[in-house]
Amino acid sequence: MFIYIITILAGYILGCFQSSFILSKGLKQVDIRNLGNGNAGASNAVISLGWKFGLLVALLDILKAIISLYLIKYLYYGNVPSSQLTFLLYLNGLFVILGHNYPFFMGFKGGKGTASLIGMLMMINFSVAIICIFIIFIITIITNYIALGTIGLVIFFVFLTIYLDYGIPSIIISILIAAMSIYKHLPNVKRIREGKEIGLRKAMKK
């Protein structure tokens, strides 16, 4: 039980490092949640403050997931069966994303966890991470919307978890992550249908 408590707490605490909020406050003197779609994450940072700022936010959000999962690997690699370690990494990644999406110090109003999911994948299976980055990149370029690229990414993530036979507990976590991401992107989809969502090409001009 102690293993799971450490895994959950480490993930949530590191996930709460909200780079978009901290950097927007420190460098731009604005609250990212008052800009664009009101989301404290990398995609809204790109849309609201430009691609360079958004890229920095994305890299930091990826990094915090990498650090968290590395810590779990460091603590438990060789000390638990490989199947259990995989589950611990999925569990830790889930709570990094929960910390990012629902940080306690921001009234539980955070981001959507896409960059942190990519960091999680990099530590679980780097080849899978590259494939998923390719998926989100291609769909985003074709559709012009990061939200649609992300939805494609999380759906593919679930199928890859099943295909790689990481076990039922990990599959359940992948479904939870995907469902949470899709739910959080529903307002974006609505704005896309209404023609109100800012596309990537427009955001890249900032």
pTM of the predicted protein model: 0.92
| Per-residue pLDDT tens listing for the chain (206 residues) | 889 999 999 999 999 999 999 988 888 888 888 887 778 888 888 888 888 888 999 999 999 999 999 999 999 988 899 989 999 999 999 999 999 999 998 888 889 999 999 999 999 999 989 999 999 999 999 999 989 999 999 999 999 999 999 999 999 999 999 999 999 999 999 999 998 887 777 766 65
**pLDDT recorded at residue 172:** 98
Q: What is the pLDDT of residue 7?
A: 97
Looking from the CA of 125 toward its CB, the CA atoms found within 13 Å total: 15
Number of domains observed in the structure of the chain: 1
* Environment class of 136 (CB within 10 Å of its CB; exposed 0-12, middle 13-18, buried 19+): buried
- Structural domain of 129: 2-203
Task: Identify the pLDDT of residue 58.
Answer: 92
Tell me how far apart the alpha carbons of residues 184 and 191 are, in angstroms, rounded to a whole number.
13
